[in-house]
């Protein structure tokens, strides 16, 4: 991308607009060109607006006449380094995304809005040459100054914030300054502090963990999948790998699912690395704090960067390893805007930087498992639970023909009671929040539908509301049928709220803790809610998949899965995979401590072969069977798949758009045994927020066959002038 002209006075910029190209501008008026370099942000005029753009290149001339000048330079130094810029451009090509939108996705909100990075610059105290040359005991008569000097000698320069946290007074610093031993310099920001758990000595690695760690050299790129059941010590392996990376003077990037970035996780990592600078990038931070954390990572100041999906787009100039925890988790794939997969991009980043990439999961995605089984990834396993924990016993409870009480079989309720009576904890998993997923009239059959989506409204009894879980439409609960005015309304099916009512009544002597999106507005709230459970007192936990991950609750000995059937009969070919992952993850909550665990799985179809396979043999054989099914059906990961999506209030327009899109693509590459087209077909949720949604699906033997097709399609579709129609290309789509 370097330019070789004599006078590179044209700025080539990535502008956050939905067009797949860069834009040329003149430099801001009167600016000294030597202050400009790629990676800086500038304000530019665009279509009557003022936007934050990123300088990508400086070139001597532009094919366009009449360029406008950029308005103002924002950063005194680049915020994106060259590696990160190359990476973002690669991702833009791969996902057929506008590169300006990728830069915007990479930036934290405050920087996206144009706040100067210098706002967060830190003052750093460092030793002068004289200070470095001082004999060790020179200041022994001024112990405070001696202590500060020692700190700077041992740990290098310290920021003003760090010095304050360590109680070094301004007077001490001034005294050393007066002696000419230390000096202040301006430098990068430090991330906001993370409260650490009490430091504990790391456990001795077991033989399997040792082997896994030995298989990952830190000095070059390698791709590994670590398959290990819950509690087998994967996190311990991550921590050791991070330690090696940090010792080598590099940064470690740890990606976690949205649900997994809990204060508990952060405390565990902070406790292990008390002397290290840790930047956590998550939605719980205030805008300013998030920018601060991001800039400390981008400046190479932060040693450890922990974040959810978008953290993969952060510049990391000293990157030493990328670890993706719970790599199967759906939240790593962005579902709107630039539809990138952070897990897949992790591989690209690791290859670019020449560092190891480790994907870990108890229930690997079929994509990663396929890569491991075909030898593209190194397949690492942890087969035993670490420490004393034993694998739980799993039992199927058939529910068809049983007298259920709010969805629970009598023997299940009995087991819950016995568990609590023994002073242990039980966890009940229910995959729906709210009181009931539908409300109906017994007399005329009226059903409460969402007026904007093709879905039913969920009844939330406590708030006396009916809510759409797809578009968040809300209305107050009705007492009578709006159609026939009958007062005989029934709530169909079960949800967390409904089960909570029953369980709280049945087990009134014990705390019943409900965990779902309605009870936990924030990660901190979840942490607080679970505090009594962590204390180890007998209690009953009940909730949605939020309970399935990340929480180490050693006193849980019984796990109940209220309904295992939902995902087995879905129209989405990925549904069985997700169901298997969820069941295995929930089951993995049982018996994490010294006590043995038991899992009860309720099902109407206990003889379903996939369910049998999952419960008898575990997720591994189950997933391998699903892979064979996918091969027969010619579906991912055995084939590459992309969707072209369109949505519109007027369904006909979306369909017509996609018909033409398909014709365009077929003109370039007709259907063949290597390349097939499907659609336009309606999305699984056909109408959402008032718009009808359709897609065309393209599957190919190789990813490379899809790229030119999609590039051509985007070229054509960018000319679409129908402002009410939205379209998108979804490479490696995860949702139908």
Q: Could you tell me which residues are annotated as the binding site for Zn(2+)?
A: 441, 444, 450, 453, 468, 471, 481, 484
Taking the complex as a whole, how short is the minimal distance between the CB of residue 453 and Zn ion, in angstroms? 3
Task: Kindly tell me which residue out of 230, 455, 499, 581 binds ligand ADP, with binding defined by CB under 6 A.
Answer: 230
Taking the complex as a whole, how short is the minimal distance between the CB of residue 226 and ligand ADP, in angstroms? 9
SS3 at position 633: coil
Taking the complex as a whole, how short is the minimal distance between the CB of residue 297 and ligand ADP, in angstroms? 24
User: Which single residue is written with the structure tokens 């990123």?
Assistant: 54
Angle at 562 between CA 558 and CA 566, to 5 degrees: 135
441 binds, among Zn ion, ligand ADP, none (CB under 5 to 8 A by kind): Zn ion
- Is 234 among the residues that bind ligand ADP (CB under 6 A)? yes
The C-alpha torsion from 581 through 587 and 590 to 591, rounded to 10°, is -80
Which residues form the interface with Zn ion (CB under 5 A)? 441, 443-444, 446, 450, 452-453, 468, 470-471, 473, 481, 483-484, 486
Q: In what order do the strands lie in the sheet with 598-603?
A: 393-398, 598-603, 556-561, 425-429, 540-543, 512-515
Phi, psi dihedrals of residue 58, rounded to the nearest 5°: -120, 125
394 vs 471 by CB, closer to ligand ADP:
394
640 binds, among ligand ADP, Zn ion, none (CB under 5 to 8 A by kind): none
- Is 39 among the residues that bind ligand ADP (CB under 6 A)? no
Tokens of 314: 């952060």
Taking the complex as a whole, how short is the minimal distance between the CB of residue 323 and ligand ADP, in angstroms? 11
386 vs 468 by CB, closer to Zn ion:
468
Report the site for ligand ADP in 692-711 (rule: CB under 6 A): none
Binding annotation: 441, 444, 450, 453, 468, 471, 481, 484
Give, for 502, the enclosing helix (H) or strand (E). helix 496-506
Phi, psi dihedrals of residue 52, rounded to the nearest 5°: -90, 115
Please, are residues 713 and 475 in contact by the beta-carbon 8 Å criterion?
no
Residue from 322, 329, 343 nearest 259 by CA: 329
Q: Could you tell me which residues come within 8 angstroms of residue 220 by beta carbon, excluding any fewer than 6 positions away?
A: 354, 355, 356
Taking the complex as a whole, how short is the minimal distance between the CB of residue 487 and Zn ion, in angstroms? 9
Angle at 540 between CA 390 and CA 579, to 5 degrees: 60
264 vs 676 by CB, closer to ligand ADP:
264
The DSSP string of 119-154 is: GG-EEEEEE-HHHHHS-TTTTTTSHHHHHHHHHHHH
722 binds, among Zn ion, ligand ADP, none (CB under 5 to 8 A by kind): none
444 binds, among Zn ion, ligand ADP, none (CB under 5 to 8 A by kind): Zn ion
In a 13 Å sphere around the CA of 32, the CA atoms on its Cβ side amount to 3
Whole-number Cα distances in Å, 177 to 183, 408, 487: 6, 72, 82
Whole-number Cα distances in Å, 718 to 338, 386, 653: 15, 53, 16
Taking the C-alpha atoms of residue 556 and residue 589, their distance in angstroms, rounded to an integer, is: 7
Task: Kindly tell me which residue out of 231, 350, 392, 620 binds ligand ADP, with binding defined by CB under 6 A.
Answer: 231
399 vs 557 by CB, closer to ligand ADP:
557
- Is 585 among the residues that bind ligand ADP (CB under 6 A)? no
Give, for 681, the enclosing helix (H) or strand (E). strand 675-688
Task: Kindly tell me which residue out of 27, 100, 233, 263 binds ligand ADP, with binding defined by CB under 6 A.
Answer: 233
278 binds, among ligand ADP, Zn ion, none (CB under 5 to 8 A by kind): none
Q: Could you tell me which residues come within 8 angstroms of residue 164 by beta carbon, excluding any fewer than 6 positions away?
A: none
Task: Kindly tell me which residue out of 60, 156, 180, 203 binds ligand ADP, with binding defined by CB under 6 A.
Answer: 203
Residue from 421, 434, 395, 398 nearest 559 by CA: 395
91 binds, among Zn ion, ligand ADP, none (CB under 5 to 8 A by kind): none
HEC string of 199-231 equals CCCCCCCCHHHHHHHHCCCCCCCEEEEEEECCC
112 binds, among Zn ion, ligand ADP, none (CB under 5 to 8 A by kind): none
The 387-426 contact track toward ligand ADP, x by CB under 6 A, reads: x---------------------------------------
Angle at 702 between CA 697 and CA 703, to 5 degrees: 65
Residue from 385, 434, 430, 421 nearest 559 by CA: 430
**Would you give the DSSP letter of residue 262?**
-
Task: Kindly tell me which residue out of 236, 367, 563, 655 binds ligand ADP, with binding defined by CB under 6 A.
Answer: 236
387 binds, among ligand ADP, Zn ion, none (CB under 5 to 8 A by kind): ligand ADP
Strand extents, DSSP E, 229-285:
251-255, 278-281
728 binds, among Zn ion, ligand ADP, none (CB under 5 to 8 A by kind): none
From the list 231-239, 252-260, 272-280, 516-524, the region that binds ligand ADP by CB under 6 A is 231-239
Taking the complex as a whole, how short is the minimal distance between the CB of residue 495 and Zn ion, in angstroms? 17
SS3 at position 304: strand
7 binds, among Zn ion, ligand ADP, none (CB under 5 to 8 A by kind): none
Task: Kindly tell me which residue out of 189, 235, 341, 519 binds ligand ADP, with binding defined by CB under 6 A.
Answer: 235
From the list 121-129, 227-235, 392-400, 633-641, the region that binds ligand ADP by CB under 6 A is 227-235
Q: Could you tell me which residues come within 8 angstroms of residue 364 by beta carbon, excluding any fewer than 6 positions away?
A: 225, 227, 327, 328, 372, 623
266 binds, among ligand ADP, Zn ion, none (CB under 5 to 8 A by kind): none
The 485-514 contact track toward ligand ADP, x by CB under 6 A, reads: ------------------------------
The 548-577 contact track toward ligand ADP, x by CB under 6 A, reads: ----x-------------------------
Taking the C-alpha atoms of residue 726 and residue 434, their distance in angstroms, rounded to an integer, is: 31
Q: 680 preceded by cis ω (within 30°)?
A: yes
The 605-624 contact track toward ligand ADP, x by CB under 6 A, reads: --------------------
386 binds, among Zn ion, ligand ADP, none (CB under 5 to 8 A by kind): ligand ADP
- Is 228 among the residues that bind ligand ADP (CB under 6 A)? yes
Strand partners, 182: 127
481 binds, among ligand ADP, Zn ion, none (CB under 5 to 8 A by kind): Zn ion
The 349-388 contact track toward ligand ADP, x by CB under 6 A, reads: -------------------------------------xx-
158 vs 585 by CB, closer to ligand ADP:
585
- Is 206 among the residues that bind ligand ADP (CB under 6 A)? yes
Task: Kindly tell me which residue out of 40, 158, 172, 232 binds ligand ADP, with binding defined by CB under 6 A.
Answer: 232
Q: How far apart are the first and last CA of the chain?
A: 37
Give the other-Cβ count within 10 Å of 23's Cβ. Answer: 22
Please, are residues 479 and 392 in contact by the beta-carbon 8 Å criterion?
no
The 327-346 contact track toward ligand ADP, x by CB under 6 A, reads: --------------------
Q: Which residue ranges make up the site for ligand ADP (CB under 6 A)?
A: 203-206, 209, 228, 230-236, 386-387, 552
């Amino acid at each position: 991308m370097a330019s070789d002209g004599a006078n590179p006075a044209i700025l080539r910029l990535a502008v956050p607009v939905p067009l797949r190209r860069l834009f040329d501008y003149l430099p801001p008026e009167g600016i000294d060109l030597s202050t400009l370099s790629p990676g800086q942000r500038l304000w530019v005029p665009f279509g009557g607006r003022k936007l934050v753009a990123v300088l990508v290149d400086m070139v001597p001339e532009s094919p366009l006449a009449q360029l406008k000048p950029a308005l103002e330079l924002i950063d005194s130094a680049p915020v994106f380094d060259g590696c990160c810029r190359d990476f973002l451009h690669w991702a833009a090509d791969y996902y057929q995304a506008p590169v300006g939108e990728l830069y915007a996705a990479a930036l934290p909100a405050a920087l996206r809005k144009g706040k100067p990075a210098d706002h967060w610059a830190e003052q750093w105290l460092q030793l002068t040459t004289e200070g470095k040359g001082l004999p060790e005991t020179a200041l022994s008569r001024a112990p405070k100054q001696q202590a500060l000097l020692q700190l700077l000698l041992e740990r290098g320069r310290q920021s003003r914030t760090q010095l304050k946290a360590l109680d070094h007074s301004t007077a001490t610093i001034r005294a050393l300054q007066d002696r000419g031993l230390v000096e202040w310099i301006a430098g990068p920001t430090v991330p906001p502090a993370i409260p650490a758990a009490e430091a504990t000595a790391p456990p001795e690695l077991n033989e399997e963990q040792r082997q896994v760690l030995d298989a990952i050299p830190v000095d070059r790129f390698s791709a590994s999948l670590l398959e290990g059941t819950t509690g087998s010590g994967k996190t311990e392996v991550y921590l050791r790998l991070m330690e090696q990376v940090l010792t080598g003077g590099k940064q470690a990037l740890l990606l976690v699912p949205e649900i997994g970035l809990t204060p508990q996780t952060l405390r565990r990592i902070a406790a292990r690395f008390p002397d290290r600078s840790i930047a956590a990038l998550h939605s719980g931070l205030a805008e300013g704090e998030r920018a601060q954390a991001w800039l400390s990572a981008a400046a190479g100041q932060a040693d450890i960067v922990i974040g959810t999906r978008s953290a993969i787009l952060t510049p990391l100039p000293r990157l030493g390893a990328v670890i993706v925890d719970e790599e199967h988790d759906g939240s790593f794939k962005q579902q709107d805007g630039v539809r990138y997969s952070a897990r897949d991009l992790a591989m690209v980043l690791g290859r670019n930087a020449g560092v190891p990439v480790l994907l870990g999961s108890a229930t690997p995605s079929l994509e990663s498992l396929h890569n491991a089984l075909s030898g593209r990834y190194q397949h690492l396993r942890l087969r035993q639970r670490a420490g004393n924990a034993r694998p739980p016993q799993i039992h199927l409870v058939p529910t068809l023909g049983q007298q259920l009480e709010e969805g629970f079989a009598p023997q299940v309720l009995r087991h819950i009671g016995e568990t609590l009576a023994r002073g242990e904890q039980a966890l009940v998993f229910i995959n729906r929040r709210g009181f009931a997923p539908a409300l109906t009239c017994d007399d005329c059959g009226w059903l409460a539908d969402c007026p904007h989506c093709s879905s039913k409204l969920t009844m939330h009894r406590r708030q006396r509301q009916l809510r759409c879980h797809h578009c968040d439409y809300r209305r107050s609960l009705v007492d009578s049928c709006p159609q026939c005015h009958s007062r005989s309304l029934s709530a169909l099916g079960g949800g967390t709220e409904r089960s909570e009512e029953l369980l709280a009544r049945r087990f009134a002597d014990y705390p019943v803790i409900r965990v779902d999106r309605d009870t936990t507005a924030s990660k901190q709230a979840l942490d607080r809610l679970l505090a009594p459970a962590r204390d180890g007192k007998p209690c009953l936990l009940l909730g949605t998949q939020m309970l399935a991950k990340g929480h180490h609750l050693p006193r849980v000995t019984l796990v109940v899965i209220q309904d295992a059937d939902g995902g087995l009969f879905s129209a989405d070919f990925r549904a069985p995979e997700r169901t298997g992952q969820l069941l295995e993850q929930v089951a993995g909550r049982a018996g994490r401590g010294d006590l043995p665990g038991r899992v009860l799985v309720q099902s109407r179809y206990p003889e379903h072969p996939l369910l049998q396979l999952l419960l008898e043999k575990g997720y591994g054989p189950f997933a391998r069977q699903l892979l064979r099914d996918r091969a027969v059906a010619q579906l991912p990961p055995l084939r590459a798949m992309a969707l072209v999506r369109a949505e519109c209030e007027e369904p006909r327009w979306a369909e017509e758009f996609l018909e033409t899109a398909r014709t365009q693509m077929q003109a370039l590459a007709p259907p063949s045994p290597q390349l097939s087209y499907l659609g336009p077909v309606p999305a699984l949720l056909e109408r959402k927020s008032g718009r009808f949604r359709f897609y065309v699906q393209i599957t190919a033997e190789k990813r490379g066959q899809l790229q030119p097709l999609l590039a051509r399609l985007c070229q054509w579709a960018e000319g679409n002038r129908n402002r009410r129609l939205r379209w998108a290309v979804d490479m490696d789509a995860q949702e139908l």
